[in-house]
Structures are given as C-alpha cells and as structure tokens.
Amino acid sequence: MLSIPFIALLIAVSIHVSGGLIDWYEDSTHIGQRGGAHFLSGAGISVSAADNPTDNRVDYTLATNADSGTATIAAGATTVAIAHDLGATGVQVQITPSTDTLGARYWISSITSTHFSIDLNAAQASDISFYWRIQGDE
C-alpha cells in the first residue's frame, strides 16, 4: 500500500528537479525555485532569483531596463530635461512627436543614468509634445 504513494512522490520530485533547480511549494502553491533561476525576462523587465543559503530562502530581484513617458517643450524654449527610472545610462532613446513640430528639428542629448534631454534647433511659438522611451542594455 505504501509503494503507490511513494512512487507518486518520487515522480513528482523528479518532475520538479531538473538542471540543478528545485521547485518549492507551500500549501500546493508554487513559491519559488532554489539554485538561482532566471524566471522571466522580456523587453523592459526582468525577474530573477538566487538561493540565499544563510536562511534557506530565495531572494528575488526585479529590474527594469526600459522606461517611457511624455514630455513637452514649452513655447519659447529649446530644450526639456526628462528624468527616467532606468538606473543606468540608456543605450537607446526613442522619441515621437505627439504635436506638430512646426518644422523644428529635434534630437536627444545629455543621456545619463537619471536624465536625458530633447532639444529643438529653434524656439517655437507653441508647445511641442513628445512620447519617449529609453531602453537599457538587454
């Protein structure tokens, strides 16, 4: 009689132990993996976990590698500084005007780990707005 539950347990453990990783469950709910696993990644976000042997827990790290928003260069101005939450110097910044640029040329400058700027070649009579997205190293 004990052999059937034991075999079922062995199969369950063998399914969840692969590549040096062990899935942990609490009340039949998956709570993590031991051994340092890369759980999820994609453009803009990554979640990773690492074994913490000092307290038998898994430490999770959530990191972003992209940020986005909107910005407006006020009438009469030629630049706007934009704060981003990337935490590192961006490797790519994309901007798209959301209003008429009134013939003004525009570009990105001064990219740092906390800010970048959108510049115009000449001040305009109306506000010019942009959608922006900054991408970090993937």
pLDDT at 9: 43
Distance CA 40, CA 137 (A): 16
d(Cα 113, Cα 90) in Å, to the nearest integer?
Answer: 7
Give residue-wise pLDDT tens across range 67-123. 899 999 999 999 999 999 887 887 899 999 999 999 999 999 999 989 999 999 999
CA distance 82 to 104: 19
Q: What distance in Å separates the CA atoms of residue 137 and residue 44, rounded to the nearest whole number?
A: 10
Q: Spell out the domain ranges in the chain.
A: 3-64, 66-135
- Better-scored residue on pLDDT, 80 or 50: 80
Helices (H) and strands (E) in the chain, counts: 1, 12
Per-residue confidence band for 23, with pLDDT thresholds at 50, 70 and 90:
low
Cα distance between residue 46 and residue 62, in whole Å: 6
